Amino acid sequence: MKHALITGAYRGIGLEAARQIAKAGFHVWISARKVEEGEAAAQKLRDEGLEASFVALDVTDEASIQSAVQTVRAHSEVLDVLVNNAGVYPSGDGDISTLPASVLREALEANAIGPLLVTQAFWPLLQKSGSPRVVNVSSSAGRLYDMGAEMPAYGPSKTLLNAITRQFAGLDERVSVNSICPGWVRSEMGGQNAPRSVEEGANIITKLATMDSPPSGQFLNDAGEIGW
């Protein structure tokens, strides 16, 4: 059985992606900072007849990341899919001319540095897979070609995540590494006025996790490749 790990997967897009990937025949690792909520999410999938386990993981804490690697490795020496979904939209992210450094640091730590460290830590397990994939959940807010003055912390943090995607994609041609934009999704982060469901947002993640011969080094949404 193949194994997939999804960060920030106790709710929203992450949980739905875990459900879809598990339905494709994977054992999924639900990871989250919040232990009680994460364990409940994994149990929910098990109650649906799916293969799921919980592993505590705070993407901003290097000790937590290393502990998660050891937990996963104790069950499998191979990780086939890593989905870097965990992220934040920091409060106070309003105006670049007055943006506090603390707000920018919060966004960078969770949305870019965290996925970098998690991918580094799981890289040896991914390289043991016959078809390894990394899916980084980014956003159109990180696109440089049409970036405006909105979201001066969140947007650039996703731009850096996209650069990290390109760097890893160029490191080993065997490993498929892509950024995706799930769109504006009805979730705790996106709010209830968003036009897309979590199921729709998770579809592109599942596609890249399970398709034959996936691309690498691309920025994608449901419609295909999009600009950086």
What would the pLDDT profile of 26-49 be if each residue is shown by its tens digit? Answer: 999 999 999 999 999 999 999 999
pTM listed for this prediction: 0.97
Is the pLDDT assigned to residue 194 strictly greater than 80?
Answer: no
Instruction: Convert 160-181 to b/e letters by CB count within 10 Å (16 or more is b).
Output: bbbbbbbebbeeeeebbbbbbb
Dihedral Cα 101, 103, 109, 110, nearest 10 deg: -170
What are the backbone angles phi and psi of residue 156, rounded to the nearest 5°?
-60, -30
pLDDT at 192: 79
H helix or E strand, kind and range, residue 55: strand 52-56
CATH 3.40.50.720 fits 3-225, yes or no: yes
- Could you read off the pLDDT of 107-161 as tens digits, one per residue? 999 999 999 999 999 999 999 999 999 999 999 999 999 999 999 999 999 999 9
The whole-number pLDDT of residue 32 equals 97
Please report, as a single letter, which amino acid is at residue 154. Y
- Mind listing the pLDDT tens digit for each residue in 196-210? 888 999 999 999 999
Two structure tokens written together for 43: 């149990």
Q: Percent of the chain scored above 70 by pLDDT?
A: 99
Q: Give the pLDDT score at 185.
A: 73
Catalytic residue among 10, 89, 145, 154: 154
Told to judge if 145 belongs to the known catalytic residues of this protein, a careful annotator would answer no
Cβ proximity of 119 and 134 under 8 Å: yes
| Residue 133 near residue 180 (C-beta atoms within 8 A) | no
